[in-house]
Amino acid sequence: MIHSGPAITVQMLDDGIAEFKFDLQNESVNKFNRVTLDDLDAAVQAVKAHPEIRGLLVTSGKNFFIVGADITEFGGVFSHGRDYIQDWTMDIHRIFNAFEDLDIPKVVAINGFALGGGFEMCLANDYRVMSDKAQVGLPELTLGLIPGFGGIIRLARVIGVAKAIEWISSTRPRKAADALADGAVDEVAEHDKLRDTALAALKRAIAGEIDWQAKRALKLQAVEVPGGAADSYFEGVRAELAKTTNPEQYPASKAFLDVIEKSADMARDQAVAVEAEHFAGVAVTPQADALIGLFLADQVIKRAAKKNAAAAREVKKAAVLGAGIMGGGIAYQAATKGTAVIMKDIGQAQLDLGMNEAEKQLARQLQRGRISEDKKNATLKLIEPSLSYDGFNAVDIVIEAVTENIKVKEIVLKEAENALREDAILASNTSTISITELAKGLQRPANFVGMHFFNPVPVMPLVEVIRGEQSSDEAIATAVALALSMGKSPIVVQDCPGFLVNRVLFPYFGAFDRLIKDGACLIKIDQVMEDFGWPMGPAYLSDVIGLDTCVHASKVLADGFPDRMKTDYTGATEALFKTDRLGQKNGKGFYKYVADDSGRKRKTADDEVKDILAPHVDAAAPGSVDFTAEEIRDRLMLAMCNEVARCIDEKIVASPEEADMALIMGLGFPRFRGGALRYIDQIGLKEYVALCDRYAHLGKAYEAPQILREMAAKGERFFN
């Protein structure tokens, strides 16, 4: 044995070939943590000390090759600041360069996922052989980072600048055939022949039949920029990328391009220094902090869901009550994931609509080549439209998604309970009505939970699973497991008006109404909040949800939390609703929706709105007061963030990670900000509380809750 470390072993095979195997001890996957990096350093030195080695076969002892850098270690490194990070990165370059510079051919056998640092290690080899089951890529931008182990420099030199830009900006892992076509790997092998193929390539390299020196030399020198004129080329690329990603919001999307541009005419050692400088620059941004936080939060919610689903009963068959927007969507989603489902409504026309919608969605999937004709037909067969409760004694769970009316729901839930087996679970998709309240009319309240899906169901990942006062662990577990099997991300929350997501959304809408009342311009408010990163501003969002739904839900919340959600005036949303403006659904709300040439309804400012709002505004006219962007942002965000903090305090949601992920997935909270609690952390608790004090005169919604005052006093944060 030439080297035997905690992450790497180097062992002589025949013919002067040594196997350099990544196999991190006590871990299920290989990753570049500190242990692996130090061991790589040591293993390279060991190889150098053995001149009898004529070539290296680089392999993995795990199912994946190397999944990337250990993201849990980033916090510790990044907290030391930019200079430290740059030195840290330069030290990794020293190790990777020393590996690359070993005076023998190195052939890597990529047996599974090689992502981020894992793929950067592949690029430091001279020849890459990839299993037809593996995937490679550089997803660093999703974390607000750029590749930092030489990946930008080497990929641009291996596959060319234009393709490297495409690979890095898309963040998408590539399958073997695509990686081969782009020249990122040299050969693809059937999975079980990978090792033999890589070994044969190494022998050919040793024999001089593969010009590995030339392949390596390419990575050590300058790279050509398409068209030759770097300035105009990069300017064009920047403009193109900015169409889909705002570089102010995602600085890494610009930084990696800067690296390619600045280092294009440099040799490797100089070029990696440019990469290190820019890596350190993005690593200290709040966006990287937020996006890395989300990656880690995603793991927290996955672990929590797994734990919450532990006591689940098996669901062989489900049923949905209501074939409307939500019921139809839920039935479709369950069926696409293989669960048979009865879809019951009170009218044939509604059932036909629900089935047609499912058929349309599946036809679209078929057209896009995502599913086969057989899969389409099989999925449709799994949905059984019904006008009666026949067959309900065979279902394991029912999700009620009928009209949002407590009287209707009470009747329907009772009927369903009578038709069900005693052990079956009953869930309601209500968006506002208390689960504990709905359970009161039921004989088996322990079997009853909330399952709050979001619209459109096939697209929105979040499901709030709501625990009523009497909901059993088994009922919660079954709902969580069903949501997981439907490909969703369930988060368990305690029962309260609006649950988590709507409870924190409505103070934000309340702050919007209040701004309008104080004379702010609704178009400016939307613009400011879209610049903040929301996919749409509050006026537009209200129109999309429907002003009727907004008014109805805001009343439920005002009843639940009168101290901060009840008003003694008619807000803009209600004022418009009272004139039959319902939003997008009837073509007029805060905006009017007019069909353009292609027939698509476009939002347009509507002068009529000003007239309707005039009696409800305390200023000379609606929109006549010029609020600063900061004031608009702060008034809206404080109202929302304070409510999220209250939900943590009241344990409506179990952890800050789950709270922030729920807002990201359920509301479209800007990802690069990481969520409401991360936003408070980034402002700083003390500064945030001071900001609340400035707006406290507007009402309780803006006052800092006690939990934040206490955290500020103790110097605490939500995330460390």
Interface with ligand NAD, residue 403, by CB under 6 A: yes
Q: Binding ligand NAD by CB under 6 A: which of 293, 327, 450, 497?
A: 327
What's the min distance (Å) between Cβ of 122 and ligand NAD? Answer: 45
Residue from 347, 487, 535, 562 touching ligand NAD (CB under 6 A): that is 347
CA-based max dimension of the chain? 90
Measured between alpha carbons, how far is 499 from 468 in angstroms, rounded to an integer?
Answer: 10
Q: Could you say which DSSP state residue 131 is in?
A: E
How far apart CA 364 and CA 371 sit, in angstroms, is: 9
The yes or no reply on residue 206 touching ligand NAD (CB under 6 A) is no
Question: Among 439, 440, 445, 447, which residue's Cα sits nearest to residue 474?
Answer: 447
- Which of 344, 514, 588, 673 binds ligand NAD (CB under 6 A)? It is 344
- Structure tokens given for 479: 């709902």
CB-nearer residue toward ligand NAD: 464 or 526: 464
- According to DSSP, residue 388 is labeled S
Stretch that binds ligand NAD, among 85-93, 152-160, 319-327, 598-606 (CB under 6 A): 319-327
Q: Segment near ligand NAD (CB under 6 A), from 126-134, 403-411, 557-565, 577-585?
A: 403-411
CB of 479 to ligand NAD, least distance (A): 15
Catalytic site includes residue 452: yes
Residue 589 within binding range of ligand NAD, rule CB under 6 A: no
Give the strand order in the sheet containing 448-453.
383-386, 340-344, 317-321, 397-400, 425-428, 448-453, 462-467, 489-494
Residue from 412, 419, 539, 692 touching ligand NAD (CB under 6 A): that is 412
Query: Which positions from 353 through 392 interact with ligand NAD, judged by CB under 6 A?
Result: none
Options 325, 340, 558, 629; binder of ligand NAD; rule CB under 6 A: 325
Q: Is 536 one of the binding residues for ligand NAD (CB under 6 A)?
A: no
Q: Contact region for ligand NAD (CB under 6 A) — 105-113, 167-175, 220-228, 400-408?
A: 400-408
Site membership for ligand NAD, residue 321 (CB under 6 A): yes
**Min. distance of Cβ 699 from ligand NAD in angstroms?**
27
The C-alpha atoms of residue 108 and residue 125 are separated, in whole angstroms, by: 6
Q: Does 39 sit near ligand NAD (CB under 6 A)?
A: no
Which residue's CB is nearer to ligand NAD, number 329 or number 623? 329
Does position 406 bind ligand NAD by CB under 6 A? no
- Count each helix (H run) and each strand (E run) in the chain, helices first: 31, 20
Q: Which stretch binds ligand NAD (CB under 6 A): 196-204, 263-271, 307-315, 401-409?
A: 401-409
Cβ distance to ligand NAD smaller for residue 308 or 350: 350
Binding span for ligand NAD by CB under 6 A among 68-76, 189-197, 402-410, 636-644: 402-410
Write the DSSP assignment of 411-443 as a string of letters: HHHHHHHHHS-TT-EEEE--SSS-HHHHHTT-S
Task: Work out the number of other CB atoms within 10 angstroms of the CB of residue 159.
Answer: 18
Binding piece for ligand NAD, criterion CB under 6 A, among 264-272, 321-329, 578-586, 675-683: 321-329
Binding residue (CB under 6 A) for ligand NAD from 408, 612, 625, 698: 408
- 542 touching ligand NAD, by CB under 6 A: no
Minimum CB–partner distance for residue 450 and ligand NAD (Å): 10
* Identity of the residue, 136 or 420, whose beta carbon is nearer to ligand NAD in the bound complex: 420
76: Cβ contacts below 8 Å, ≥ 6 apart: none
Q: Which token pair is 450?
A: 């909330």
Site string for ligand NAD, 274-313 (x = CB under 6 A): ----------------------------------------
The yes or no reply on residue 345 touching ligand NAD (CB under 6 A) is yes
If the CB atoms of residues 1 and 459 are measured against ligand NAD, the closer one turns out to be 459
466 binds ligand NAD (CB under 6 A): no
Sign (positive or negative) of CA dihedral 56, 62, 64, 66? negative
If binding is defined by CB under 6 A, does position 401 make contact with ligand NAD? yes
Closest C-alpha to 701, from 648, 615, 638: 638
Which CB, 74 or 454, lies closer to ligand NAD? 454
Residue nearest to ligand NAD (CB): 324
| Integer angstrom CA distances of residue 360 from 116, 327, 328 | 38, 16, 12
Pick the binder of ligand NAD from 135, 285, 350, 478 (CB under 6 A): 350
CA atoms within 13 A on the CB side of 265: 4
Closest CB 160 distance from ligand NAD, rounded Å: 46
Give the shortest CB-115-to-ligand NAD separation in angstroms.
Answer: 35
Sorted by sequence, the CB contacts under 8 Å of residue 368 that are 6+ apart come out as none
Stretch that binds ligand NAD, among 289-297, 320-328, 417-425, 477-485 (CB under 6 A): 320-328
What is the rounded distance in angstroms from the CA atom of residue 346 to the CA atom of residue 402?
A: 10
Size of the site for ligand NAD (CB under 6 A): 24
Q: Which stretch binds ligand NAD (CB under 6 A): 83-91, 316-324, 478-486, 622-630?
A: 316-324
Q: What is the DSSP letter of 224?
A: P
Q: Which residues, 431 to 460, sit near ligand NAD by CB under 6 A?
A: 431, 453-455
Under the binding rule (CB under 6 A), the answer on residue 322 touching ligand NAD is yes
Whose Cβ is closer to ligand NAD: residue 323's or residue 500's?
323
Residue closer to ligand NAD (CB basis): 355 or 609: 355
Q: Burial, 585: exposed, middle or buried (Cβ in 10 Å; 0-12, 13-18, 19+)?
A: middle
- Bond from prior residue into 705 cis (ω within 30 degrees of 0): no
Q: Is 404 in the site for ligand NAD (CB under 6 A)?
A: yes
Rounded CA gap, 578 and 54, in Å? 82
The residue annotated as part of the active site, out of 80, 278, 452, 697, is 452
Q: Is 417 an interacting residue with respect to ligand NAD (CB under 6 A)?
A: no
**Site for ligand NAD contains 462 (CB under 6 A):** no
Cα 474 to its chain centre, rounded Å, is 28
DSSP category for residue 586: G
> What's the CA gap between 554 and 513, in Å, rounded?
11
Residue 323 found at the interface with ligand NAD (CB under 6 A): yes
Q: Which residues contact 65 (CB under 8 A, 6 or more apart)?
A: 22, 30, 108, 110, 111, 112, 113, 114, 118, 122, 134
Among 72-80, 225-233, 429-437, 570-578, which window interacts with ligand NAD (CB under 6 A)? 429-437
Q: Least distance from C-beta 537 to ligand NAD, angstroms?
A: 18
Asked if residue 671 lies in contact with residue 291, where contact means CB atoms within 8 angstroms, the answer is yes
429 binds ligand NAD (CB under 6 A): yes
CB of 558 vs ligand NAD, minimal distance in Å? 17
- Annotate 494-528 with DSSP letters as a single string: E--TTTTHHHHHHHHHHHHHHHHHTT--HHHHHHH
Q: 188-194 — which CB contacts under 8 Å span 24+ positions?
A: 188/129, 188/130, 188/131, 188/132, 189/129, 189/130, 189/131, 189/132, 190/131, 190/132, 191/111, 191/131, 191/132, 191/133, 194/109, 194/110, 194/111, 194/129, 194/130, 194/131
Contact between 402 and ligand NAD by CB under 6 A: the answer reads yes
Q: Least Å distance between CB 125 and ligand NAD?
A: 51
Where on the chain is the footprint of ligand NAD (CB under 6 A)?
Answer: 321-327, 344-347, 350, 401-404, 408, 412, 429-431, 453-455
| Catalytically annotated residues | 452
